[in-house]
Amino acid sequence: MTDHTDHTARAKQWFETLRTDICNAFESVERDAGSDASFEFTSWDREEDGNDHPGGGVQGLMKGKVFEKVGVNVSTVSGRFSPDFASQVNGASAENPGFTATGISLVAHMANPHVPAVHMNTRFLTTEKAWFGGGADLNPPIPYDEDTADFHAAFRAACAGHNPTYYDRFKKWADEYFYIPHRQCHRGVGGIFYDHLECDDDAAFERNFAFTQDVGKTFLDIYPKLVRRRMESGFTDGEKLQQLEWRGRYAEFNLVYDRGTLFGLKTGGNIDAILMSLPPEAVWT
């Protein structure tokens, strides 16, 4: 079996670099809006009985003029899944519940309802298997066809550089995953979602790592452009209410269906970091 210690270290380093680049880009948007808001970073340590190296992470949080609340978190953890949860994870079992995981997770909720909220995460996990997963999806309270088209075009191009089947497959996966069954609606206008890009050997790791890096770079390129396009738009009380009602749907999905939320809770993650995806304000009417 391939030793993925070096692979995990390289993925961790990339996620931390991407975190820095994204935070700098978002702070630059705030400066353009006349705000001095900056990210505040809080480290946390994971605890697990009998584990001397359980890992931890850093939560980055900014509340500004444009970004009402944005979290950019990086974590690297290792340990053993509980027997019941191990059976739900690729390559893990009650007999072999060990794992390592490193990744970046981002959610941005915007002050202006015309600016789309967004979610992005990429991760590298090892059990008896090793794989990359992640994606990005756009979540506008007030959708604009131009924004949707540009977001999808960016990720279509990123996928095309690696595998001609990726975009159609991963777009469909996102459409199916980010659906709220009890509301019979989608959480947003989609994007891409992928999982279990397995790394059986060094060549597969390099191939899937390169794709995962391009997902992060693509997000860093396209999303600030969409924010700047809409952040000075005027809005009405009715449009703000539309945003707050939409945020309620977003919260419902993340609390009821989101696998990342469940993974964090089941592996002893930091509660504040796990739930940073929830909006700062929402309404249910």
Whether pLDDT at 94 is above 80:
no
7-17 pLDDT, tens per residue?
Answer: 999 999 999 99
Is 283 within the bounds of a domain?
no
Q: Which helix (H) or strand (E) holds 157?
A: helix 145-160
Indicate the average pLDDT of the chain: 94
- What is the number of structural domains in the chain? 1
Distance, in Å, from the CA atom of 38 to the CA atom of 13, rounded to the nearest integer, reads 22
Whether 119 is catalytic: yes
- Cα separation, 105 vs 120, whole angstroms: 6
Residue 206 sits in a domain of what CATH number? Answer: 3.40.1500.10
- Calpha distance 81→267 (Å, rounded): 7
What integer pLDDT is reported at residue 146 of this predicted model?
98
Average pLDDT over residues 123-151: 96
Q: Assign 180 a pLDDT band (cuts: 50, 70, 90).
A: very high
65 belongs to a structural domain: yes
Which H or E element spans position 118? strand 117-126
For 264, the domain range is 5-277
Decide if 282 is inside a domain: no
Does residue 258 sit within a domain?
yes
Give me the pLDDT at residue 95, please.
Answer: 76
Q: Is 150 a residue whose pLDDT tops 90?
A: yes
pLDDT for position 90:
78
pLDDT value, residue 218: 98
Q: Which amino acid is at 60?
A: G
- 3-state secondary structure (DSSP) of residue 116: coil
Tell me the CB-side half-sphere exposure of residue 76, using CA atoms within 13 A.
Answer: 12
Of 71, 98, 93, 73, which is closest to residue 83 (Cα–Cα)?
Answer: 93
Give the whole-angstrom CA distance, residue 144 versus residue 128.
43
pLDDT of residue 84: 77
228 in a structural domain: yes
Mean pLDDT on 123-145? 96
What whole-number percentage of the chain has pLDDT above 90? 82
> pLDDT tens-digit profile of 183-212?
999 999 999 999 999 999 999 999 999 999
- What pLDDT, on a 0 to 100 scale, did the predictor assign at position 282? 97
Question: Domain for residue 16, yes or no?
Answer: yes
Spatial neighbors of 19 by CB under 8 A, at least 6 apart, are: 58, 60, 72, 74, 104
pTM of the model: 0.94
User: Burial level of 144, CB count in 10 A (0-12/13-18/19+)?
Assistant: middle
Of the listed ranges 97-111, 168-182, 262-276, the one predicted with least confidence: 262-276
pLDDT band of residue 96 (cuts 50, 70, 90) is confident
Q: What is the tens place of the pLDDT at every residue in 16-37?
A: 999 999 999 999 999 999 999 9
pLDDT tens-digit profile of 103-125? 999 999 999 999 999 999 999 99
Would you say residue 285 lies in a domain? no
The secondary structure of residue 229, as a DSSP letter, is H
Catalytic residue (one of 4, 7, 109, 119): 119
